[in-house]
Amino acid sequence: MVYIKILKKLFRKILKRLFKLLLAIVVFTILQVVILAYVNPPITTFMIYQYFTTDITSIQKDWHDIENISPNAALAVIASEDQKFLEHHGFDVEAIQTALERNKESKRIRGASTISQQLAKNLFLIPSKNFLRKGVEAYYTVLIELIWSKKRIMEVYLNVVELGEGIYGVPMASQQFFKKSPKQLSSAQAALIATALPNPKIYKLNKPSSYMYNRQFWVQRQMRNLGGTSIIQHWYE
């Protein structure tokens, strides 16, 4: 009987400490997301991971507010990566269901990550394929969608997404590959940049493949079908 009381007391103590730890983690992560709603991230977890685990020798990035990035860039990544970006709350349920059905019949696994999910992964997590990481990614995605505006999500995404070996963000990609400011990107150039997003290590903007050019035309067509830059014009007013 004495042992049972001791075990109960120990169990309650462990639960109390676990609860405090969980609460501290929740508060910390919420503060992270709140701060980054107003402060531009100087670096991301993904950038740090890539620097220390690959052969890249530098991290090249150049932050530009969204008003100084062509609307074509935002529209291109929406058309290419997440056509329901303006409608969903972080997760495209229909795309997830479609991907699950396709993956049952195909050896080539397809994802259905939204721009918000990709941003959560790049900002806070390292690349890995396990359920724990996906769970944390989903948690951060919910926080980002609750606390940030769609404009802020897109602004940060455009500035931190990987677009080449050690090259991050549309502004830097624009300067490196097109020798112009991101505000001057044409529809065709923005669409070509978007074709690198699935995997910039394979789809190289310094040497676009025929697949990338074909994909570029598809992205431009989707940009027009979505309604052009008018659907995001309110971000620039």
- Average pLDDT of the chain? 92
| Tens digit of each residue's pLDDT (9 = 90 or more) over 106-148 | 555 455 799 999 999 999 998 888 888 899 999 999 999 999 9
Contact criterion met (CB below 8 Å) for 220 and 187:
yes
Mean pLDDT in residue range 26-53: 96
Asked whether the predicted pLDDT for residue 7 surpasses 80, the reply is no
The whole-number pLDDT of residue 123 equals: 97
Cα 214 to Cα 195: distance, rounded to the nearest angstrom: 9
Tell me how crowded residue 82 is: count the other CB atoms within 10 A of its CB. Answer: 22
Least confident of 42-56, 85-99, 199-213: 85-99
The whole-number pLDDT of residue 12 equals: 86
Higher pLDDT: 167 or 102? It is 167
Cross-strand partners of 162? 168
The whole-number pLDDT of residue 109 equals: 47
Tell me how crowded residue 54 is: count the other CB atoms within 10 A of its CB. Answer: 11
| Tens digit of each residue's pLDDT (9 = 90 or more) over 178-215 | 999 999 999 999 999 999 998 999 999 999 999 999 99
The whole-number pLDDT of residue 99 equals: 65
Asked whether the predicted pLDDT for residue 55 surpasses 60, the reply is yes
CA nearest 176: which of 165, 160, 188?
A: 165
Higher pLDDT: 151 or 93? It is 151
The whole-number pLDDT of residue 97 equals: 76
CA nearest 216: which of 80, 20, 61, 59?
A: 80
From the number of C-beta atoms within 10 Å of its C-beta (0-12, 13-18, 19+), residue 92 rates as buried
The whole-number pLDDT of residue 205 equals: 96
Cα 207 to Cα 137: distance, rounded to the nearest angstrom: 32
Please, which pLDDT band fits residue 95 given cuts at 50, 70 and 90?
confident
The whole-number pLDDT of residue 8 equals: 77
Please, which pLDDT band fits residue 98 given cuts at 50, 70 and 90?
confident
